[in-house]
Homo-oligomer: A and B are copies of this chain.
Amino acid sequence: MDKKITMAHGSGGKSSAELMKQIFGKYFHNEILDRLEDAAVLDLKGGRFAYSTDSFVVNPIEFKGGNIGKLSVCGTVNDLLMMGAEPLYLSSGFILEEGLDTAVLDRIAKALSEEAEKAGVQVVTGDTKVIEGRGGLMINTSGIGYILPERDVRAANCRPGDAILLSGTLGDHHACILSARMGIENSIVSDCGVLKEITDALFGAEIPVHTMRDVTRGGLGTVLNELAESADVGIRIKETSLPVNPEVRGFCDILGLDPLYMGNEGKMVAVVPGERAEEALALMRGTEMGKNAAVIGFCTSDSRGVILETPLGGTRVVDMLYGEGLPRIC
């Protein structure tokens, strides 16, 4: 195997075929993919399916707690989970930059396949292209999941009185990526991960979840604004209830960052009827990904958007992220 990716690996000819065999063929195997047709053939029972896509352009492509391969599974699988779906199938499209180390590609393909296995999804179709560049790599995944008939999880379903749960600390992925890019040594690890354990716990206990959203780029502030707008409710959260890892808090203080607008890759909000909040919280906290979960606020019937209660008892309006978040965070 060549040590570096060249434009020839994107030609669709022999070099492409070799790359498939030597790297992707090593990690991706299932009955559907192995047919090597132009498209995968899926046997689906009838019903509602969630279908989502995301491109991943994170820089650096390897970071503490994961790499772009793992991330490309988490991002799309989490989007399916947030609709109340059971993730089933993934597509994966690699765009390789000329000069990429094949050893790095190997690690990334391995992480992608391992995370897919962990999430219980099969990668059934893929594509690889090569472009000029500086040895980087981007991945697009799309995914299909099955929505059980009784589930109805939508942004528009938030109701006044509903409790808003956040599954864990804010800003870890953002702070991890930014630290790597700035060359700052610390022990901040990305939260990049699949949220299935949490959704399984909630649905397993028949919590009537109204809405779920993963908290990615744009941060919690943006997600809450989107929910308030979709459901035409107000949202009121308490600053003191927002979980933030102390090291991330310190990092934010130094750089003037607000955890409310920092990206995460393994965090979600769940909106549940107020009377089930404590039960849902206990279920979340019983999972590895949700051990730092908290009830952060409530939906209200006023229409002033998202309001934050400050530690001193004042309030301020939380707007959507405006302008530039951290580029290439996911």
Contacts and interface: CB of A to CB of B under 8 A. Distances in A.
B44 A46 contact: yes
A222 B321 contact: no
Interface in A63-105: 78-80, 82-83, 85, 89, 91-95
Given A142-B142, A213-B38, A214-B38, A321 B11 contact: yes
A170 interface: no
A86 B47 CA distance: 18
A45 B46 contact: yes
A188 to B, nearest CB: 21
Interface string A222-239: 100010001000000000
Interface residues of A, number: 84
Interface string A3-47: 000111011111111000000000000000001111111111111
A155 B53 contact: no
A57 interface: yes
Nearest to A143: B39
Contact of A41 (B83, B230, B322, B323): B83
Nearest to A155: B37
Interface stretch (A123-131, A201-209, A271-279, A292-300): A123-131
6 contacts: A11-B323, A38-B78, A44-B46, A46-B46, A52-B125, A53-B126
Given A10-B327, A39-B143, A42-B50, 13 more contacts: A11-B325, A12-B216, A37-B82, A38-B78, A38-B83, A39-B83, A41-B49, A41-B51, A43-B47, A43-B49, A46-B47, A51-B89, A93-B140
